[in-house]
Amino acid sequence: MTFARANSIECLATLPRMPDWVTSGRAETPEDVAFLSGAALAQLDQVLARHEVPKTLLRERLALRAAEASVSFSGRSERTRDLRDAVHLLRPGDLPGPAGGDYLAWRCAAERPVSITALSRAVPTLEREQIAMWLDAGQGAPVSRAAMVLEMVLTDAPREELSALILTDAALAQALGWDYLVPLLAQGLNRADLRKRGEDLRRACHRAIISSAAEAVRLSAGLARRTAHLKAVAPKLRAKAAKQAVEIFLTRDAVTPSALPLPDRAARRLCDRLIALGAVRELTGRETFRIYGV
């Protein structure tokens, strides 16, 4: 084992983990729930500060999970595989459909630093002035501020659940001093939570953060290991533009061969080679229209 490889493994082993007492405790009082959600966010903040964590890829993967939650809130049945197909198998001029549109909105929200301009691209049904007003109105600690934004958007625009959830995570990111929106709250809330208001909604948001931040920490560790392995095997690739192709895999949740900077046949061979090296996975289980990811 090379020194660089051994050093990489050692660094990954020291990634902060979510303490068991954060997720296994039975918090009943508002104070206890708020304390545990704060502890979960603090641990996630430490993880996001580590250079080993592929943060762009992590946000893409969390955006997919947030989209799945958003779709379920609207009563639709699409899940991970359907959402990937709806976006990554689009042909020029095709529309992604409602579920694919939700997924694209979350990806758009998470791919650029948080700003009114970036958020208006993700939720174009809302006016920029309205977005700014809602984000500025949130007050208090990070989760309380996010819950306040969620309540205001759902009160003023009850049909804009997707937009409300995106703006809620944007408010949380701003309150925490994060440059980018990290999709967290949608996957921790349920449909009934979106009908709550006041203290009940704040408590639901705190509980959502406990579970979703713990999942983000776990996912970060897994992605860090897999991307470290991909980087380690990259020198074995002989295809032209292999370096650029690896960079795409390091930043995207899912990739089709046509998205790689190679001719179609060469791109497919590269994907097969990466699978043989254990660096990427085929995500669909199909023989055609295959999609790959770390």
Q: Are residues 196 and 287 in the same domain?
A: no
Strands 292-293 vs 281-282: parallel, antiparallel or unpaired: antiparallel
Q: Are residues 60 and 204 in the same domain?
A: yes
> Quick check: is 114 in a domain?
yes
- Tell me the average pLDDT across 221-236: 96
Q: Are residues 123 and 188 in the same domain?
A: yes
Model confidence, pTM? 0.93
* Helix 198-233 × helix 30-48 angle, to 10°: 20
What token pair was written down for 235?
């020198």
For the chain, how many residues are written? 294
Tell which residue, 42, 85, 58, 91, has the closest CA to residue 225.
Answer: 58
Are 152 and 132 spatial neighbours (Cβ–Cβ below 8 Å)?
A: no
Q: 225 or 27: which carries more pLDDT confidence?
A: 225
- Residue 241 confidence (pLDDT) above 80: yes
What token pair was written down for 150?
């969620």
Are 57 and 246 spatial neighbours (Cβ–Cβ below 8 Å)?
A: no
Domain containing 260 equals: 237-293
- State the pLDDT at residue 21: 92
Q: Which amino acid is at 109?
A: A
* 141/47 Cα distance (integer angstroms): 20
Q: Are residues 169 and 249 in the same domain?
A: no
Domains identified in the chain, total number: 2
Confidence at 3, pLDDT banded by 50, 70, 90: very low
* 48/46 Cα distance (integer angstroms): 6
Collapsed DSSP state (helix, strand, coil) of residue 267: helix
Residue 242 Cα to chain centre, angstroms? 26
- Residue 99 confidence (pLDDT) above 90: yes
Q: Which of these three, 195, 210, 225, is where a domain ends?
A: 210
CA distances from 42 to 107, 170, 189, 210, 255 (A): 24, 17, 20, 11, 32
**CB atoms closer than 10 angstroms to residue 55:** 19
Are 32 and 40 spatial neighbours (Cβ–Cβ below 8 Å)?
A: no
Q: Are residues 254 and 289 in the same domain?
A: yes
Q: What CATH code is carried by the domain that includes residue 283?
A: 1.10.10
- Residue 4 confidence (pLDDT) above 50: no
- Tell me the average pLDDT across 224-238: 95
pLDDT by residue (tens digit) across 116-174? 999 999 999 999 999 999 999 878 899 999 999 999 999 999 999 999 999 999 999 99
> Quick check: is 161 in a domain?
yes
